[in-house]
Amino acid sequence: MSLTLQRSDLLRSTHYVGGRWCEALGGARYDVEDPALARVFANAPDGDARDAAAALEAAHAALPAWRAVPARDRSRLLLRWNALVLEHREDLGRLISREQGKPLAEAIGEIAYAASYVEWFAGEAARITGDVIAAPVAGRQMLAVKEPVGVIAAISPWNFPAAMIARKIAPALAAGCTVVAKPAEDTPLTALALVALAEEAGVPPGVLNLVTASRANAASVVDVWLADARVRKLTFTGSTPVGRHLARGCADTLKKLSLELGGNAPFIVFDDADLDAAVDGLMAAKFRNAGQTCVCPNRVYVHDAVHDAFVRKLVARVAALKVAPATDPQAQIGPLINAKAVEKVDRHVQDALSKGATLATGGKRLPELGPNFYQPTVLTDVSNDMDFACEETFGPVVPVFRFADEDAVVAEANGTPYGLASYFYTRDVRRIARLASALESGLVGINEGAVASEAAPFGGIKASGYGREGSRHGLDEYMHFKYLCQGGLG
C-alpha cells in the first residue's frame, strides 16, 4: 500500500476476529480506491457469510466474561483507547484523508471527534445506575437494574470513517456488550486501525471483531447477523432504504435497533437574523466533509427582506473555498467519495437549472483536480419541483429558497419524510420558542450551525430513523432494564 504512516503497523490489511488478525476465510480481497484520484491504492479482505459467522461466534463466546468485567475497569480501558486514538491522530487522519478524501486538518478533527465519544462513554460506563422503586406492598424490594443487551452488530458509513464507528463501539463496550462490526466498503482502513488501537488498549479477544467486505459481499456478511438471534441489537448509520431493509431483517429475531438514516435538513434565515452569523453557520453546517453529512442543510430558506444581502455574502464565501486534494494544506473541500456521488450532485444541479434555477456560483465538475471533484455551488430561484427539494444531495450544493411568512416556511421545512436536523437564525425569542417546538427533527440548531457533540443525543425522527448516539441516552441504547422483585421481606 502506498501510504506512509509514523506507525506503519496501523496500516492493517486483515480482519480482526477472536483477537486474531486473519485473512477472509475464502481468501478473497477487494480494492480500495483513493477518491481524489479514483485509483486503487490498497485492498482489504473481502469477507462473506463465513467470516460473519466466525466473528459472531467469537463475540458470543466473549460475552459472559466481558459483561462480568466491572464497569469501572471497562471505563479505564476505554480511556486507554481514547488516549491511543488521540496520540495517533495524525496517522489516523492520514488514513481517513486517503480513503475518504477529506482534507487532512478536517480528518484530524474527525479523529478528535471520534475520540470524544470514546472518552464520553468511558465516563458513562463508570456511572451506570438503576432504580430502587418504592414498593406498593409491604415486604417487597423492587429494583430496576441495567444490563448489557448482548452481542451488537455495528454497520458504519464512509462519510466519517472514524467517528461513526467509534460512537457505536464505545457505548457498546461501555455497557458490557461485545461487538461484530462492518465498516463501509469504501473506508475499511481507518476502522481497522482503530481496532488495532483498541487491541493495544487491552480489549480482550472476541470482545470486538471487525470484518470488511466489498459492496458485492456486504449483504452476505450482514444477513448472517440479521438472521442470528444471538445478535441482540443492530446499529446502523446510512441511507433510509438500507435502514428499512435492515429493520425488516431484524423483525424475525426482534433485535433492538438504532438507525441513523438520511436527512433533508432545512436552514431558515429570518429577516431579523444576524446575517454574518447565519452565513458562518451555513458554511460550517453545509461544507463540512464537502456536504457529505446527514445533518447538512439541503434546503436553505431566506426571508425576502434579506435574501439578496444574504446571497451576496454567501456567494463570496462559497466562491472563495479552496477545492483541492487532501494533501494540499490549503484544501477546504476535497473530492466526493466516488463517481456515483458526483453524478448525483451534478444531476441535482442540472435538474434545477433546467427548471429555472439561477446559478450564483459553481455548478461544474473539476476534472483538472480529479474525476470526483465538484465546485461548491449556490443556486437561487429554486422551487419545490426540483430534485433536491425531496432528495438529499450529499454534496457541496446550496439551493436558496425565498420565503415571506413564518407559518409557511415551517410547513415547507417540515414537508419532507425526513427529520434529522433543522436550523434557523432569528433574534426573536418568541419565534425561537415557536420554531424549537414546531420543527420536526431530532436536532435543531438555533443560531448555530455546528450542532454535533458527544454530550448531546444525536438522531432523527420520521424517515431519519430512531435511537440516539452520544449523551447518557446513547449508553441506554446498549442496555436494557431488568426488574427485580424480591418478596417475603416483611
Helix (H), strand (E) at residue 421: strand 421-425
First to last CA, the chain: 70
User: Looking at beta carbons only, is 150 or 474 nearer to ligand SIN?
Assistant: 474
Q: Which three cell numbers stand for residue 58?
A: 467469537
| Catalytic residue flag (residue 477) | no
Distances (CA, A) of 16 to 228, 311, 392: 20, 50, 34
**C-beta atoms surrounding 229 within 10 Å:** 11
Q: CB under 6 A: which stretch of 249-257, 270-278, 289-297, 401-409 binds ligand SIN?
A: 289-297
Residue 198 Cβ, how far from ligand SIN at the closest point, in Å?
20
Helix axes 89-100, 104-125, angle to 10 degrees: 120
Cell 446502523 sits on residue: 236
Asked if residue 159 binds ligand SIN (CB under 6 A), the reply is: yes
Q: Which three cell numbers stand for residue 463?
A: 424517515
Q: List binders of ligand SIN among 180-239 (CB under 6 A).
A: 237
Asked if residue 114 binds ligand SIN (CB under 6 A), the reply is: no
Residue of 464, 18, 11 lying closest to 244 (CA atoms):
464
**Window 295-314: contact mask with ligand SIN (x via CB under 6 A):** x-------------------
Asked if residue 111 binds ligand SIN (CB under 6 A), the reply is: no
Q: What is the bridge-based pairing of β-strands 131-133 and 141-148?
A: antiparallel
User: Looking at beta carbons only, is 77 or 163 nearer to ligand SIN?
Assistant: 163
Q: Which three cell numbers stand for residue 297?
A: 442543510
Residues shown for the chain: 490
Q: CB under 6 A: which stretch of 80-88, 185-193, 241-249, 288-296 binds ligand SIN?
A: 288-296
**Window 313-352: contact mask with ligand SIN (x via CB under 6 A):** ----------------------------------------
Cell 426540483 sits on residue: 386
- Tell me, what DSSP letter sits at residue 135? P
- Tell me, what DSSP letter sits at residue 371? T
Q: List binders of ligand SIN among 125-154 (CB under 6 A).
A: none
**Window 254-273: contact mask with ligand SIN (x via CB under 6 A):** ------x-------------
Asked if residue 443 binds ligand SIN (CB under 6 A), the reply is: no
User: Are the CB atoms for 223 and 27 separated by under 8 Å?
Assistant: no
Asked if residue 170 binds ligand SIN (CB under 6 A), the reply is: no
From the list 119, 124, 260, 469, the catalytic residue is 260
CA angle 351, 357, 361 (to 5 degrees): 100
- Tell me, what DSSP letter sits at residue 176? T
Residue 283 Cβ, how far from ligand SIN at the closest point, in Å?
15
Size of the site for ligand SIN (CB under 6 A): 10
**C-beta atoms surrounding 241 within 10 Å:** 11
Among 100, 235, 264, 293, binds ligand SIN (CB under 6 A): 293
Among 59, 341, 452, 479, binds ligand SIN (CB under 6 A): 452
- Name the residue whose CB lies closest to ligand SIN: 452
Residues that bind ligand SIN (CB under 6 A): 159-160, 163, 237, 260, 293-295, 452, 458
Show which residues are catalytic: 260
